[in-house]
């Protein structure tokens, strides 16, 4: 099946620093990538949708200037948490949609393994 990787898997940083998380689709071209955040014992919350070569679309309540998303190629999207604070500590998961595979007119997302961010 399709594989999506994330790097790093775990990061610990000091408050005020910026952290970049990479999401790669390894064996398919991802026309669209999604970034989710999961709080403890809660659902996955969509943060933003990024399409290759265009600006990301952010969900309501997500700060664009704080969570910078770049989708520079069909296999790579990055999420940069700028000036991180302890409340940004969370599990961040990306997913990628294979534009060639449509099921039910939409297609399935393939998820990365997630990145655990801890801000001290």
- State which residue, 78 or 95, has the beta carbon closest to other proteins: 95
CB of 73 to other proteins, least distance (A): 21
Whether residue 99 has a cis bond before it, omega within 30° of 0: no
- State which residue, 93 or 119, has the beta carbon closest to other proteins: 93
- State which residue, 82 or 116, has the beta carbon closest to other proteins: 116
Three-state secondary structure call for residue 6: strand
CB of 71 to other proteins, least distance (A): 16
CA–CA gap between residue 42 and residue 20 (Å, rounded): 24
Using CB under 8 A, list all residues that contact other proteins. 4, 6, 34, 42-46, 49, 91, 93, 95, 103-106, 108-114, 116
CB of 116 to other proteins, least distance (A): 7
Q: Are strands 4-7 and 76-81 parallel, antiparallel or unpaired?
A: unpaired
Q: CA-CA-CA-CA torsion for 93, 99, 100, 102, nearest 10 degrees?
A: 80
């Amino acid at each position: 099946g399709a594989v999506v990787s994330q790097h790093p898997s775990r990061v610990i940083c000091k408050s005020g620093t910026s952290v970049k998380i990479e999401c790669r689709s390894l064996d398919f071209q991802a026309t669209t990538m999604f970034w989710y955040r999961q709080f403890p014992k809660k659902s996955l919350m969509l943060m933003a949708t990024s399409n290759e070569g265009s600006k990301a679309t952010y969900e309501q309540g997500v700060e664009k200037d704080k969570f910078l998303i770049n989708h520079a190629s069909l296999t790579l999207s990055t999420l940069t948490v700028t000036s991180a604070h302890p409340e940004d500590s969370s599990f961040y998961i990306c997913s990628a949609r294979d534009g060639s595979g449509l099921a039910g007119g939409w297609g399935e997302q393939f998820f990365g393994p997630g990145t655990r961010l801890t801000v001290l």
